[in-house]
Amino acid sequence: MNDAAATERLCGLLLANGTRVVLVGNGPLSDDDRAAIDAAPTVVRFNDLYHMRRGERNTLWVLTTSQVQASTFRKANKLAKGARAALLFTNRAIQPADEVAAAWKALGVGERRVAEVRYSWHNPFARRVGELLNMSGTRVTTGFSTLNLILHCLPPEGRVDLYGFSF
């Protein structure tokens, strides 16, 4: 599946329950935050801190192949069974094929719907931000890439609520 097809498939999943999406980062969550997340129609979580997030709603689970420590993936895969789909962000230009293959295997392809998107480089805004960050010695984060994907999918009347972010 190419990037455009994978993106459209994910957009369909994100919009299946309406135009409100909650994006949950790795930061601390209050009890009120958790209640709001659990009440949301669509919940997107990312990265590998699922041992801290058990029992909460999860529609889409987002990872990157930079997190390919097999034990982390195995633990996260076991704890994120509630996710209806998993999204693997990759950058095939710099990541070895065996690393990407290891991530797919650890995610249990075939057990759940899994898609792969190459960091939104097809989006000119995301590409330019990535270029600027690379010049400063940093990188595009999983959170930024995920938010960019959600904003791409949502119609103008859509809404994104952010929880667990510290910016």
pLDDT digits (tens, 9 = 90+) for 101-124: 665 565 554 444 455 555 554 556
Q: Considering the chain, what percentage of its residues have pLDDT values greater than 70?
A: 46
In the predicted model, what is the mean pLDDT of the chain? 69
For residue 41, give the CATH number of its domain. 3.40.50
Sign of the C-alpha dihedral computed for residues 108, 112, 117 and 120 taken in this order: negative
Q: Which residues contact 60 (CB under 8 A, 6 or more apart)?
A: 10, 13, 14, 42, 43, 44, 45, 83, 84, 85, 86, 87
* Residue numbers of the domain that contains 75: 3-163
pLDDT-wise least confident of 21-25, 106-110, 124-128, 130-134: 106-110
pLDDT digits (tens, 9 = 90+) for 46-61: 755 544 554 466 777 6
Instruction: Give how many domains the chain has, as a whole number.
Output: 1
